[in-house]
């Protein structure tokens, strides 16, 4: 019998994918000369968790790390950037073009128990690694009622 593993990101990522299909995320950016639209390229992401932190690994080949914004606001991790169009993008000489360029955005809801001020990000060999340390879990507080 297989055991189900709970991941705080799994359900939220599924919801994000479903809402993306419903609201057509491609409408967020105007189309350019790419027939698939500017938002057709979405970097692939792996998310892992250990005892002390979460780790997000995003494949960003051909993207200058200085052109990528990584922000956390209200427990939403946002990775935003753009893969630049090739300077020879006028189509001359191409027999086949499969590498998509343009703007991208990925967003993930973080658990409340993360240390947002200690998040680090580094890029190497086309992979962006974001390390998100876990913070202290908020414990419920009982309030005494005076009478």
> For residue range 49-100, what is the model confidence (pLDDT) as tens digits?
998 999 999 999 989 999 999 999 888 999 999 987 766 555 667 788 777 8
β-bridge partners, 57: 46, 129
Q: Do 123 and 65 form a contact (C-beta atoms < 8 A)?
A: yes
Domain boundaries, the chain: 10-87+97-133
Residue 125 CA: distances (Å) to CA of 17, 98, 129: 27, 21, 11
Domain 10-87+97-133 has CATH 2.60.40.790: yes
Interatomic CA distance for residues 69 and 95, integer angstroms = 34
Q: Which of 18-27, 43-52, 117-126 has the lowest mean pLDDT?
A: 18-27
Interatomic CA distance for residues 11 and 89, integer angstroms = 39
Residue 70 CA: distances (Å) to CA of 6, 42, 64, 91, 119: 26, 15, 13, 32, 10
Q: Count other Cβ atoms within 10 Å, centred on residue 90.
A: 9
Determine the pLDDT at residue 43.
93
Q: Sorting pLDDT into bands at 50, 70 and 90, what band is 140?
A: confident
Is 107 a residue whose pLDDT tops 90? yes
């Amino acid at each position: 019998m297989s055991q189900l593993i709970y991941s705080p990101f799994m359900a939220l990522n599924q919801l994000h994918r479903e809402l993306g299909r419903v609201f057509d995320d491609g409408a967020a950016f105007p189309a350019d000369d790419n027939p698939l639209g500017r938002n057709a390229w979405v970097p692939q992401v792996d998310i892992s968790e250990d005892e002390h932190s979460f780790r997000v690994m995003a494949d960003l080949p051909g993207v200058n790390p200085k052109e990528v914004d990584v922000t956390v606001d209200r427990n939403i991790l946002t990775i935003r950037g753009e893969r630049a169009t090739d300077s020879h993008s006028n189509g001359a000489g191409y027999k086949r073009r499969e590498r998509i360029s343009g703007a991208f955005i990925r967003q993930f809801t973080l658990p409340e128990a993360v240390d947002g001020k200690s998040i680090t990000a580094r890029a190497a060999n086309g992979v962006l690694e974001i390390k998100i340390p876990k913070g202290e879990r908020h414990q419920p507080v009982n309030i005494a009622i005076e009478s």
